[in-house]
Amino acid sequence: MPADMERRAPKGSGEAQKKGPIVLVIDDDAIGRTLVCETLREVFPSLLESSSPIGASRTVIQEHVDVVVLDVEMPNLRGNKLAKLFRENPRLAYIGVILVSACGSEELAALGEACGADGVVTKHNIRTSLQGAVTKAWRASVNRRGANGSSGPSLRGTGPGASNGAKGPKNDDA
């Protein structure tokens, strides 16, 4: 695990993994990352966080991440560019992706659609929309894994429904 990565639930914690997806949060801003993690921790106990997108692909594979929540505005690699790289990589194309940004909802929706994100959430809607968006992305990830014949995770436990008002790209798999 990269040095800038922090684990929110112990690796191999069977109880935590049975309750939901493993979620990786990547945001260079500590305050934004903390807000996202606090919001998700209420429902999804298996959280990883990173201040940098560098090494994210390796982390997704090594840690069996189901969903990645990406800040769009990061200095080394924009979140939407990383999401597009995930979609173009056959080993990572299944991953659920949520883009988070302070930009306007229309601009964010366009970025999300262009990179194949499962959903987008503006920063001012994190508390009300992020949990449902992650649940939707997780379901899409499970469906993509199943469609590819891989033995990915099943929907472990429950999470909030996808009808949360999160604005984002339409996904027919969810």
DSSP string, 19-72: TS--EEEE-S-HHHHHHHHHHHHTT---EEEES-STTHHHHHHHHT--EEEEES
pLDDT in tens, 76-98: 899 999 999 999 999 999 999 99
Q: Percentage of the chain surpassing pLDDT 70?
A: 74
Pairing of β 5-7 and β 47-50: antiparallel
Residue 164 has pLDDT above 50, yes or no: no
Best CATH choice for the domain 5-147 from the list 3.40.630.30, 1.10.3260.10, 3.40.50.2300, 3.40.190.10? 3.40.50.2300
Count of C-beta atoms within a 10 Å radius of residue 106 = 9
Q: Provide the pLDDT confidence category of residue 152 given band limits of 50, 70 and 90.
A: very low
CB 71 within 8 A of CB 108: no
- Quick one: angle between helices 105-115 and 79-88, nearest 10? 20
Largest CA distance in the chain: 39
* Amino acid at position 141, single letter: S
Residue 29 has pLDDT above 70, yes or no: yes
For residue 36, give the nearest of 59, 2, 68 by alpha carbon.
Answer: 68
Q: Provide the pLDDT confidence category of residue 126 given band limits of 50, 70 and 90.
A: very high
State the average pLDDT over residues 38-53: 94
Question: Domain map of the chain by residue range?
Answer: 5-147
- Taking CA 125 as the corner, what is the angle to CA 20 and CA 174, rounded to the nearest 5 degrees? 45
